[in-house]
Structure 1
Amino acid sequence: MSPTRKDLFNAAENFCQAFAEHKDLEYILSLFSVTHATSVIEYGDPILAPFLGKEFIRPRKIQEYFELLASLVSHENVKFSEYFADVEAMKVSVKGDGKFTWLSTKQSWHETFTYTLDFDDELKVVKYQVWADSGAAYLARIDNGK
């Protein structure tokens, strides 16, 4: 039996909440497919931040993405809303909102971002795409205390 719209919503909500609630990396990685090729990409120019514009493919590289992100940026008060599911394409897009801090400079910014999550038939993430405010991340990263 094919997953329903509700099944997709639940899988997407579970993934998003894992991020928002700072679940451990092992748990987040368990939400990715082990039967299909997987990838993560956060769109943007890599000159702005080292995790942007590069597709992280396969479990080991996806783990590197999350480890790199956690070593550079923290987040709090992240909330998700406006989930949109396409059952035929097995995709969910969702809007997120939260406060982010570049760890080395302690500079924070508030942003609204989107995720698009592609799922396999077992409701595991196959492709995780992020569109966020890469300019704000860059400015927080280069802050020189002025």
Structure 2
Amino acid sequence: MAPSRKELQNAAEEFCRGFASKKSVDEFLEYFSTTYEVSAIEYGEPVLAPFLGKQFVGKAGLKEYFELIGSLLSYDNVAFSEYVVDCEALKVSVKGKAKFTWISSKQSWNETFTYTLDFDEEMKVVRYQVWADSGAAYLARRGELI
């Protein structure tokens, strides 16, 4: 039987709380499926930041993605809202807001971003997609954010 709208939204909210609470990479990977091949992609031009535009596949790929993000960025004041749930496709899209800092330059920006999470029947994430402000990340990386 397919999960209910409430079950999908609860799973997405739990995933988002895990991100906001800065769980360790290994703890965060527990939100992902062990039944299906998992993947993560943050859309954008790879020239702007090393984690953009590349699909990270499998648990090792996810670990690489989250460790790369953690080595380059820090974040605070995370909030999520506007969950959109598709029970037939087992997908949830959500809007997030946070203050991000490029660690090496110490430049920060406030950002609105979105996640689309594809779930399996056990309410584990199979595909993690991110759309964010890659231009701000690029400028902060270069120390040119005004």
TM-score, normalization: structure 1? Answer: 0.97
Q: Tell me, which stretches of 5 or more residues in structure 1 are unaligned?
A: none
Question: 1: CA distance between counterparts of 2:116 and 2:91?
Answer: 7
Aligned to 1:100: 100
Superposition pairs of residues 20-59 of structure 1, within 5 angstroms: 20-59=20-59
Which residue pairs with 2:124 in the alignment? Answer: 124
Cα offset for 1:145? 9.0
Partner residue in 2 for 1:77: 77
Give the aligned partner of residue 15 of structure 2.
Answer: 15
1:9 match: secondary structure: helix
CA distance in 2, matches of 1:61, 1:34: 14
Q: Specify the code of the residue in structure 2 equivalent to 1:90.
A: L
SS at match of 2:77: strand
User: What code does the residue aligned with 2:50 have?
Assistant: P
**Total equivalences in the alignment:** 146
Q: What SS does the aligned partner of 2:105 have?
A: coil
Q: In the TM superposition, what is the alpha-carbon distance from 1:57 to its structure 2 partner?
A: 0.3
Alpha-carbon distance, 1:2 to partner? 2.0
**Structure 1 stretches of at least 4 aligned residues deviating more than 6 Å after TM superposition:** none
In structure 2, the partner of 1:109 is 109
Structure 2: gaps (5+ residues)? none
The equivalent of 2:140 in structure 1 is 140
- Distance in 2 between the 1:62 and 1:145 partners? 28
- State the shift of 1:27 in Å: 1.4
**CA displacement, residues 34-85 of structure 1 (integer Å, 9 cap, x when unaligned):** 0101100000000000000000000001100000000000000010000010
CA distance in 1: counterparts of 2:99 and 2:10, whole angstroms: 24
- Displacement after TM superposition at 1:144 (Å): 5.8
**Change in 2 beyond 3 A, CA 1:101/1:118:** same
Q: Is the 8 A contact 2:113 2:130 kept in 1?
A: yes
After TM superposition, the structure 1 stretch with the greater mean CA deviation from structure 2, 17-26 or 68-77, is: 17-26
How far apart are the structure 2 equivalents of 1:18 and 1:31?
9
